[in-house]
Amino acid sequence: MGCDGDVMATSRRRLTDAEIDAALAGLPGWRRDANRLVRDFQFVDFVEALGFIAQVGALAERVDHHPELTNVYNRVTIALSTHDAGGVTPMDLALAAEIGTRGT
């Protein structure tokens, strides 16, 4: 396995509870819900919420890691988990941090 494969394997390693708890301290607004990271966002209206979803979708597609997105009018809930790892991985933490820079 080459360097890129090693990095990918590491980023998909399931984190321990202690690692997740420590990382959440640096991810404002995110919380743990079972084996997922979850955050709620609220926007002025539906159009702004939809624009945010489009931004998250483009970001997720670039890193090939797709969150669960729920939208009700001006509210968006995002849940992150690496399904093949059975929980939260460094990939989820990185995506949560990036999403956090885009939401309110």
Q: What is 3-100's CATH number, 3.40.47.10, 3.30.1360.20, 3.40.50.2000, 3.20.20.70?
A: 3.30.1360.20
Could you read off the pLDDT of 45-76 as tens digits, one per residue?
A: 999 999 999 999 999 999 888 899 999 999 99
- Domain residue ranges of the chain, discontinuous segments joined by +: 3-100
When computed from its CA atoms, the radius of gyration of the chain, rounded to whole angstroms, is 14
Q: Are 80 and 36 in contact (CB under 8 A)?
A: yes
Predicted TM-score (pTM) of the model is 0.86
Average pLDDT of span 30-45: 96
Of 2 and 102, the structure prediction assigns the larger pLDDT to 102
Average pLDDT, the chain: 88
Rounded Cα distance between 16 and 77, Å, is 24
Q: Is the dihedral of CA 15, 40, 72, 75 positive or negative?
A: negative
